[in-house]
Amino acid sequence: MAWQSIPVPRLEGVSQEQFTQQLYPQRKPLVLEGIDLGACTSKWTVDYLSQVGGEKAVKVHVAAVAQMDFISKNFLYRTLPFDKLVQRAAEEKHEEFFISEVMDNFLIQVTGKKRVVLFSPRDAQYLYLSGTKSEVLNIDSPDLAKYPLFSKARRYECSLKAGDVLFIPALWFHNIISEEFGVGVNVFWKHLPSECYDKTDTYGNKDPTAASRAAQILDRALKTLSELPEEYRDFYARRMVLHIQDKAYSKNFE
């Protein structure tokens, strides 16, 4: 099946003021071109990074396949010398399955090339989620017998080359495929007031505190329904779903 993708807009020469005041409030992915990242875009080669990093020990995920699955955990943690890690990464194609985060993110492509596919948080219902992660690993050739709703999710796609900066708004799901060895740097920041976040969450991997409380309340409500016979549980659970759809979704959600 050939997938149709919506190209992520690319803009060159965007000033900080223009991004902050005009583009950032739109809450949509955007590739920024022509930003001066300095000498790193040409200097950070395999040899240079191996020399600078030396034999410093680094803990990494190691998997037998390119698509690592953080739900079934088809990988191991290993400690490798930094220079060996860089050399190994240069020889392997890597793909990150798609995930969402609660912080905004700049993905800065310093060297190399990546293909990035993104999905709107409004299409979460089609992504077969387990927490913030999707069960669908192969997004270019998914098992539609197992994941039939996935075909309804709208794909946004872009290619990143050295010097490109991709803005990934919070909650947007993203799948990253390395097309050649390169170095990418992520910069995360909080879009909401600081009190909305879990104070122990450094990298934006946990739900906002209000969302966590709501999930706990829902779990308690479902546990209460378990006191009823199956026919009643089913009926009132469906009413709860309809109530959430009616009350919680914004009017312009669709």
What is the spatial distance between Cα 120 and Cα 125, in angstroms, rounded to a whole number? 10
Q: Which fold has domain 5-42+93-195?
A: Jelly Rolls (2.60.120)
The answer to whether residue 70 scores a pLDDT higher than 70 is no
The answer to whether residue 253 scores a pLDDT higher than 60 is no
What is the spatial distance between Cα 60 and Cα 71, in angstroms, rounded to a whole number? 17
What's the confidence (pLDDT) of residue 72? 63
Which helix (H) or strand (E) segment holds residue 6: the answer is strand 5-7
Domain ranges of the chain: 5-42+93-195, 208-248
Lowest mean pLDDT among 2-6, 66-70, 199-203: 66-70
Strand partners, 188: 105
Residue-wise pLDDT for 134-173, tens only, equals 888 888 899 999 999 999 999 999 999 999 999 999 999 9
Look up the pTM and report it: 0.86
Residue-wise pLDDT for 85-135, tens only, equals 777 777 666 666 667 888 999 999 999 999 999 999 999 999 998 877 888
H helical segments located in the chain: 16-18, 40-43, 46-53, 82-91, 209-225, 230-248
Q: How far is the CA of 117 from the CAs of 2, 73, 123, 222, in angstroms?
A: 14, 22, 13, 35
What's the confidence (pLDDT) of residue 75? 66
The answer to whether residue 26 scores a pLDDT higher than 90 is yes
**One-letter identity of residue 22:** Q
